[in-house]
Structure 1
Amino acid sequence: MAKQLHYNAAEHIAADTAEDPYLRPAFSIQNRIMRLTWNICWLLLYRISPRPFHSWRSMLLRLFGAQMGPNCHFYPGSKIWAPWNLICADQVTAGDGAEIYNPAPMHFGSHAIVSQGAYICGATHDFDDRAFPLLAYSMVIGSYAWICARACVGPGVQVGEGAVLGLASVASRDLEPWTVYAGAPAVKVKDRKQFLQNER
């Protein structure tokens, strides 16, 4: 599947904003104020909340525009860059140290898991453009997918239903459904049993 470009900073931020294009902001002042407000909330109310308070953290994310299904477990050490771009079905989990960098909409299917220290990167820069603009991609982490501890998912990579990205692996290409990947870059190592077939 082709990467789904959602945002190109060059199309939204005027070239004359800064003489040096590397100093040009990637987002509007409104976006930056929203992120500052969210970061203060994360520091004062989210990060220090007791581990079992999953409903509390889901409520805070909803207050900032996230769509959270029932029974989501976002642990206090998890980080979400832009809650308003977070769309979760039921029972989505993000462990302590998991980081979701989502300048563009990021969808998580039912029972998707992002384990401790994993990083999902939703943006990069156009390094062939002198202005080095930020490019943000819409992404989907499929139902029952598992991003294992310290694994990384690159910008625009789509993770299929039931796919597994192994410990400390790096996904630079789409992950096929019900397939296990490992390594850096991640390669297919085996198929995963499609246990949902019996439930449909």
Structure 2
Amino acid sequence: MGFEKHAVGRVLIRTKIRRALWNCVSFFLFRPFVTKFFRVWRVALLKIFGAKLAWDAEVYSSVKIWAPWKLQMGHRACLGPNVICYNQDWVILEDDVVVSQYAYLCTASHEVDKLNTANDSLITAPIRIRNKAWIGTKAFIGLGVCIGTAAVVGATASVYKNVDDYHVVGGNPAKTLKIRNLK
């Protein structure tokens, strides 16, 4: 038990150091480079910090990424302006995914059955957004959620459960509004 606790402590310290370094790099070398001309520069910085990104992915300079080493983006995937990617666990965006401005991708929460909200109650689960899905402005995607292929999450929707392929969802909590009939 003592060894496990010591190993977990080392991982936490290492994560805090990596995060501090990323926050400095992000502030000075990522966020100031705002134009599309610097898209490849931003992708390169994220790759240096362990992100698995296709070179044609788009990450706006105003995006806030908690841990680049837990971010994966496919071809032409886009994290739009002012997106918050709180990725204590993996966030995976497949090809042609669009996450619109001010969306919030949140892979962590706390166990609600515990009174304490310290680190011992922290829970995480990955978010996966499948090919050609679109996340609308100011949408919230919760931990452990998978957004299906070509699904659409409407503006301001709050998604706590998986969304099936081709479904259009909206509201809080998000419910299916219709099924896309792509021609």
TM-score computed with the length of structure 1 as normaliser: 0.82
Kindly indicate whether residue 58 of structure 2 is the aligned counterpart of residue 48 of structure 1. no
Q: Does the residue aligned with 1:36 lie in a helix, a strand or coil?
A: helix
Kindly indicate whether residue 179 of structure 2 is the aligned counterpart of residue 191 of structure 1. yes
Higher RCO structure (Cα 8 Å, ≥6 apart): 1
Write out aligned runs for 1:171-182 (5 A). 171-182=159-170
Matched residue type, 1:178: Y
Q: Does the residue aligned with 1:33 lie in a helix, a strand or coil?
A: helix
- Cα contact 1:164–1:178 (8 A) shared by 2: yes
Structure 1 residues 73-92: Cα deviation after superposition (integer angstroms, max 9, x where no partner): 11111111100001111111
Q: Distance in 2 between matches of 1:13 and 1:176?
A: 39
Matched residue type, 1:115: S
Q: Distance in 2 between matches of 1:179 and 1:128?
A: 32
Kindly indicate whether residue 110 of structure 2 is the aligned counterpart of residue 122 of structure 1. no
Q: Which runs of 5+ in 2 are unaligned?
A: none
Deviation at 1:104, TM superposition (A): 1.0
Deviation at 1:158, TM superposition (A): 1.0
Matched residue type, 2:16: R
Partner of 1:96: 81
- Cα contact 2:148–2:164 (8 A) shared by 1: yes
Q: Distance in 1 between matches of 2:125 and 2:21?
A: 23
Matched residue type, 1:33: I
- Cα contact 1:162–1:194 (8 A) shared by 2: no
TM-score computed with the length of structure 2 as normaliser: 0.89
Q: Which runs of 5+ in 1 are unaligned?
A: 1-11, 18-24, 196-200
Partner of 1:147: 135
From 22, 29, 32, the equivalent of 1:38 is 22
- Cα contact 1:13–1:28 (8 A) shared by 2: no
Where does structure 1 differ by over 6 angstroms across 4 or more consecutive aligned residues?
none
Q: Distance in 2 between matches of 1:98 and 1:166?
A: 15
Q: Distance in 1 between matches of 2:167 and 2:5?
A: 40
Task: Give the alignment's Cα RMSD to 1 decimal.
Answer: 1.8
Deviation at 1:194, TM superposition (A): 3.9
Aligned residues: 174
Q: Distance in 1 between matches of 2:5 and 2:43?
A: 32
